[in-house]
Amino acid sequence: MLDLLPHIAELSRKTPSKILLVVLDGVGGLPQTPGGPTELAAARTPNLDALAQRSALGLLTPVHPGLAPGSGPGHLALFGYDPFTYQVGRGALSAIGIGAEFGPGDVAVRGNFATLAPDRTVQDRRAGRPSTEENRRVLQKLQARISEIDGVQIRLYTESEHRFVLVLSGENLGDRVQDTDPQRTGVPPLEALPESPEDAASAKTARVLNRFTQLAEEALKDEPQINGVLLRGASKRPAFPQMQEVYKLTPAAIASYPMYRGVAALVGMQPLEVRGEGDAPEEKLEALKAHWEAFDFFYLHFKKTDSTGEDGDFAAKVARIEAFDALLPELLALKPDVLAITGDHSTPAVLKAHSWHPVPLLLYGPYLRNDTATRFTEDEARKGSLGHLRGVELMPLLLAHAGKLQKYGA
């Protein structure tokens, strides 16, 4: 696909108009039974319904039809960066998001604490979602026992709940390494392997990760629930074009989870501080209000619509959607010139995982055509005037409605 960023950079211009992009992570869903409602359709959303009737709607395929995207590629696409051109691993995003010591040549890896059965098969990929404080306790235990493997320095950082970050520092490390997370239960963790047997640097990284996994299991064998680690997303730190240069924006990110702060920082957004460690909508709103005058583009992220879907909890995901709906009037009171609400992927509760299904997109702003959609749901979005878009097509649309793009060509 054509990389539009160089062309957008020539057309973009600075204006005082403000854009608010709300990402309800994993918001797309599926019916629990054939013919039943999705999570969005089941939710009571009077404010979203009223806004939908004054907006344009459509469907958005975050990355590519048939592909279930990770949150990194899904978000990069929403920010206008083709994820097939601008690739980055989950480890780098998490490391950047938490402010880890992560220099040139280092390799960052995203880790999950897991519960392993006596036969070493994965019983719970998230170890019961421990508290972040419990994560810190266990990680300190690991760091005290594992600080170096075969001349490679090991640094461990808490991300949140079951998530942690592992940073490797040493000579000749590669990041083309396969994940050890099998992404399902009932099977043992995978072995870390280089993507190519001829890649000596990545083979070295794989050996260190396999040894780390072994040492971690030995150190955690007496823990009642957190007794294993699953690793994925090994990556070095890339250098991407910055939104300030490409879009002429002064962009900010409001997200609690480090991975999302990381992907935002990678493209030039200023991650803003949010009180607390959770995903409380009220705390996000407080940060947005406090910085509203200082920026002209805001990325506002809500995680729990995704995690409740991954837990297979249909009712809890519905409740999270309704909690956002209650917040919507306060977002509108800020009077953004352009407001978009969408997701980075679908996470249907019936699948307990990211899926390939398109997500609904709502666009509120000036210069909209008549639209027959009346609710922010998958079925209603299909009727909308925006049609069916790819994720990378969203940013030019937002910029155009905000008056930030000049004419293309003579």
Strands 297-302 and 251-254: parallel
Amino acid at 139: L
Co-location of 59 and 102 in the same domain: no
CATH number of the domain to which 194 belongs: 3.30.70
Residues in a beta bridge with 202: none
Residue 410 within any structural domain of the chain: no
Containing H/E element for 77? helix 71-78
Is residue 136 within 8 A of residue 164, CB to CB? The reply is no
The DSSP line for 358-376 is -EEEEEESSSPPP----SS
Q: Which of 211, 235, 259 is the last residue of a domain?
A: 235
**In-domain check, residue 73:** yes
According to the model, what pLDDT value does residue 2 have? 78
Same domain, 136 and 223: yes
Residue 406 maps to a domain? no
Q: Which residues contact 10 (CB under 8 A, 6 or more apart)?
A: none
Residue ranges for the chain with pLDDT beneath 50: none
User: Based on the domain organization, do 386 and 250 belong to the same domain?
Assistant: yes
* Residue 172 is assigned to a structural domain of this protein: yes
- CATH number for the domain that contains residue 32: 3.40.720.10
Give the containing element (helix H, strand E) for 289: helix 281-290
For residue 74, the one-letter residue type is G
- Are both 231 and 283 inside the same structural domain? no
Q: Are residues 186 and 313 in the same domain?
A: no
Q: Are residues 125 and 186 in the same domain?
A: yes
Residue 348 CA to residue 306 CA, distance in Å, equals 9
- pLDDT reported for residue 181: 96
Asked whether residue 407 is domain-assigned, the answer is no
| Residue 278 and residue 162 in one domain | no
> How far is residue 228's CA from residue 117's CA, in Å, rounded to a whole number?
10
Which pair of tokens denotes residue 367?
């210069």
Residue 77 shares a structural domain with residue 186? no
- DSSP codes, 101-116: ---TT-EEEEEEEEEE
Is 408 part of any domain? no
Q: How many helices (H) and strands (E) does the chain have?
A: 14, 14
pLDDT of 333-373, one tens digit each? 999 999 999 999 999 999 999 999 999 999 999 999 989 99
Q: Do both 79 and 43 map to the same domain? A: yes
Q: Which of 191, 220, 235 is the last residue of a domain?
A: 235
- 54 and 158, same domain (yes or no): no
Alpha-carbon Rg for the chain in angstroms: 21
Q: Note whether 227 and 245 are same-domain residues.
A: no
* Same-domain pairing of 68 and 143: no
Last residue of a domain, one of 179, 206, 235: 235
Model pLDDT for residues 252-280, shown as the tens digit of each residue: 999 988 889 989 999 999 999 888 756 78
Identify the pLDDT of residue 27.
Answer: 97
Q: Which two tokens stand for residue 196?
A: 């190519």
Taking the C-alpha atoms of residue 116 and residue 260, their distance in angstroms, rounded to an integer, is: 28
- Domain of 225 in residue numbering reads as 93-235
- pTM of the predicted structure, to 2 decimals: 0.83
Q: How many domains does the chain have?
A: 2
Q: Which H or E element spans position 232? A: strand 228-235
